[in-house]
């Protein structure tokens, strides 16, 4: 089987896997973060270390695969590389050291699953944009590229702003959760997830690729149920929680 055919098979497998993943996570919340119960899902490791391990392939594998493509030094693929690495350098090397993770644990199974997905996802996206995709300089003026980049930038701004609000809530020495206020939290419980999904909506549009669509669908299949679980947790934990807030999409979900 030629590599491009194998690449296509993997992309369709990721798309197909998004459906059962979504319905499984609607029924069972992965035990990390606020949902960590201290047992279940096998061995556990440090949350900070687990996060770095889980996200690392998105930086390293993506770059290695990208640099082996015939179009690696063309302007449009280079812009895609910058977009991708802006997100994942933050998620891998900055974000884990900003959150309060001391003493917290994450199931090794969750880390391993995330690591495996990031290897696959980095490969299918990097390989397409630097090898199988055809992006001429004219793509810079294409509405799909322009709208996609715009949506991506809105998403990353929303994601970072929401993260900053959450991090500021957790003062040194504090142990409890507080209802977040301001920014996207005026409308939804998880604007950080909404921002991340918007990033990959923008990515899928800008790259106009099945690889980008597969990434968007699988990410949404993970984050939408997680947002629902977080929202339910807020409602059950805080009796005065704003009743107008939705989980992920203002006024809808």
Q: Is residue 82 part of a domain?
A: yes
Name which residue leads in pLDDT, 105 or 79.
Answer: 79
Partners of residue 107 on adjacent β-strands:
44
What integer best gives the mean pLDDT of the chain? 94
- What proportion of the chain, given as a percentage, has pLDDT over 90? 85
Query: How many CB atoms are located within 10 Å of the residue 75 CB?
Result: 12
Question: Residue 48: which pLDDT band, with cuts at 50, 70 and 90?
Answer: very high
Report yes or no: 158 and 191 within 8 Å, Cβ to Cβ: yes
Q: Is residue 249 part of a domain?
A: no
Total domains present in the chain: 1
Q: Is residue 196 part of a domain?
A: yes
pLDDT at 135 over 70: yes
Closest by alpha carbon to 215, among 133, 146, 116, 125?
125
pLDDT at 176 over 80: no
Domain range for 21? 3-237
- Residue 18 CA, chain-centre distance (Å), reads 14
Give the tens place of pLDDT for each residue, 200-210.
999 999 999 99
pLDDT for 84 equals: 99
Angle between helices 3-27 and 210-237 (to 10 degrees): 10
Q: Is residue 180 part of a domain?
A: yes
pLDDT at 173 over 70: no
Q: Is residue 250 part of a domain?
A: no
Name the region of 41 (left: φ>0; alpha: ψ -120 to 50; beta: rest): left
Q: Is residue 253 part of a domain?
A: no
Helix, strand, or coil (residue 107): strand
DSSP state of 140: G
CA distance 217 to 79: 22
User: How far from each other are the two terminal CA atoms of the chain, in whole angstroms?
Assistant: 42
CA distance 224 to 194: 9
Q: Is residue 245 part of a domain?
A: no
| pTM of the predicted model as reported, rounded to 2 decimal places | 0.93
Query: How many CB atoms are located within 10 Å of the residue 238 CB?
Result: 12
Angle between helices 75-89 and 143-169 (to 10 degrees): 10
Give the tens place of pLDDT for each residue, 239-250.
999 999 999 999
Q: Is residue 244 part of a domain?
A: no
């Amino acid at each position: 089987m030629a590599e491009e055919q194998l690449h296509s098979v993997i992309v369709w497998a990721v798309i197909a896997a998004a459906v059962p993943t979504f319905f499984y996570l609607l029924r069972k919340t992965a035990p990390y973060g606020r949902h960590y119960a201290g047992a279940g899902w096998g061995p556990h490791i440090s949350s900070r270390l687990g996060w770095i391990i889980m996200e690392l392939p998105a930086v390293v594998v993506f770059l290695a695969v990208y640099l082996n493509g015939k179009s690696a030094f063309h302007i449009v693929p280079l812009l895609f590389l910058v977009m991708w690495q802006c997100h994942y350098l933050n998620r891998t090397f900055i974000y884990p050291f900003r959150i309060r993770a001391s003493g917290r644990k994450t199931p090794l199974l969750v880390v391993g699953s995330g690591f495996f997905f990031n290897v696959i996802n980095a490969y299918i996206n990097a390989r397409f944009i630097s090898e199988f995709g055809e992006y001429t300089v004219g793509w810079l003026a294409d509405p799909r590229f322009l709208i996609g980049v715009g949506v991506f930038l809105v998403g990353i701004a929303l994601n970072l702003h929401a993260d900053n609000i959450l991090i500021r809530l957790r003062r040194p020495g504090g142990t409890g959760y507080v209802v977040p206020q301001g920014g996207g939290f005026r409308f939804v419980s998880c604007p950080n997830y909404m921002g991340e999904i918007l990033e990959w909506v923008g990515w899928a549009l800008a790259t106009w690729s099945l690889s980008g669509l597969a990434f968007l669908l699988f990410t949404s299949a993970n984050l939408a149920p997680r947002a629902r679980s977080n929202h339910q947790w807020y409602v059950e934990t805080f009796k005065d929680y704003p009743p107008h807030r939705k989980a992920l999409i203002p006024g809808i979900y």
